[in-house]
Amino acid sequence: MTEIVPLAEPHFAGLRDALDSVAREQRYLAFTQAPPWEECLVFYRDIVTHDRSHFVALVDGAVVGWCDVLPSHGQARAHVGTLGIGLVTAARHRGLGKTLMLAALGKAWAQGLTRIELTVRADNLNAKALYERMGFQAEGLQLRAFRVDGAYHDLITMALLR
């Protein structure tokens, strides 16, 4: 059974494992491994306490992915959220990315955000195509914004306005 549910304490360990697995692919995220458990715990608890837009995808109760829209710093950016998403390899190409995004975007809009932004590696065509299907528009290119094992990668910045 597949479910999309708001992040809650019982998902924390599974979410960190999912993040770690996507991070270790070294092709998509700024992380190349998950942060230490204690750091994740503080971060996840803050999300739950503040009722942030953060959803996990569960397959038979196990976390296989997430999508979040987290707030920006500064009063002038209070209307802006930053979107992050990831699915473990086995959960991709089944429509879960779109479903997760719809849940996270819906809650972000309901909480009053009017701009949602993200960055995506220029060679991450699957993610970029999903963002475009969801209406995100490319705004620019950050040259050499990632460096993994000595290799530089450019990031495309994208945003969705409401």
Which residues contact ligand COA by CB under 6 A?
22, 28, 85-87, 92-98, 120, 124, 126-127, 130
To the nearest whole angstrom, how small is the minimum distance from the Cβ of residue 65 to ligand COA? 6
CB 115 within 8 A of CB 160: yes
To the nearest whole angstrom, how small is the minimum distance from the Cβ of residue 49 to ligand COA? 25
Task: For residues 82 and 60, give the distance between their C-alpha atoms in angstroms, rounded to a whole number.
Answer: 29
Q: Which is nearer to ligand COA, 114 or 126 (CB)?
A: 126
To the nearest whole angstrom, how small is the minimum distance from the Cβ of residue 78 to ligand COA? 23
In 3-state terms the chain splits into helix, strand, coil percentages (rounded to 5) of 35, 35, 25
- Go through the chain and tell me how many residues it has: 162
CB 55 within 8 A of CB 29: no
Q: Which is nearer to ligand COA, 94 or 115 (CB)?
A: 94
Q: What is the DSSP letter of 114?
A: -
Q: Which is nearer to ligand COA, 24 or 45 (CB)?
A: 24
Residue number with the smallest Cβ distance to ligand COA: 97
Q: Which is nearer to ligand COA, 76 or 151 (CB)?
A: 151
Rounded (5°) CA angle 14-94-52: 45
